[in-house]
């Protein structure tokens, strides 16, 4: 009997969440109109280094995967037990985090140097 209530509750809560988001979004826009503010599309600031940031992040993740692959093959060889598989997964995630972080740090340094030079 409980199996029936889970999908029903899920759909009711999903509908309530979407309705609430739309309701409060509409109230916010009406309040902006009352104050004389244009509720149109918010003007975002240009982000000239966004593609650099994502590019360096993806390069860092790729290098991290390669380093993790060579590390796992060098440490564990060809045949791995279940415990060694878990350790290999930890090496992969660790290298992804480390090298992805290096990519973001590199992007920050490049952006900071460019802004210091052109400001």
φ/ψ region of 81 (left if φ > 0, alpha if ψ in -120 to 50, else beta) reads beta
d(CA 108, CA 48): 13
Residues 35 and 82 in one domain: no
Question: Considering only 62-66, 77-81, 90-94, 109-113, which range has the smallest mean pLDDT?
Answer: 77-81
Task: Dig out the tokens for 6 from the structure.
Answer: 């889970």
Residues 37 and 87 in one domain: no
Averaged pLDDT for residues 68-91: 81
Say whether pLDDT at 117 is over 70. yes
Range of the domain at 38: 1-43
Residues 58 and 108 in one domain: yes
Average pLDDT, the chain: 87
Number of CB atoms found within 10 A of residue 32's CB = 13
d(CA 119, CA 116): 5
Averaged pLDDT for residues 91-114: 92
How many domains is the chain partitioned into structurally? 2
Residues 108 and 77 in one domain: yes
Task: Dig out the tokens for 63 from the structure.
Answer: 């290098």
What pLDDT shows up at residue 48?
78
């Amino acid at each position: 009997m409980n199996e029936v209530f889970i999908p029903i509750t899920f759909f009711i809560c999903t509908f309530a969440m979407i309705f609430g988001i739309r309701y409060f979004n509409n109230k916010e826009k009406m309040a902006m109109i009352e104050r004389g503010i244009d509720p149109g599309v918010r003007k975002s600031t240009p982000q000239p280094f966004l593609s650099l940031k994502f590019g360096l992040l993806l390069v860092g993740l790729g290098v991290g995967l390669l380093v993790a692959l060579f590390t796992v093959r060098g440490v564990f060889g060809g045949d791995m037990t279940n415990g060694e598989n878990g350790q290999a997964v930890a090496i992969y995630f660790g290298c992804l985090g480390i090298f992805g972080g290096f990519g973001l740090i590199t992007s920050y340094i490049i952006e900071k140097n460019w802004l210091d030079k052109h400001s």
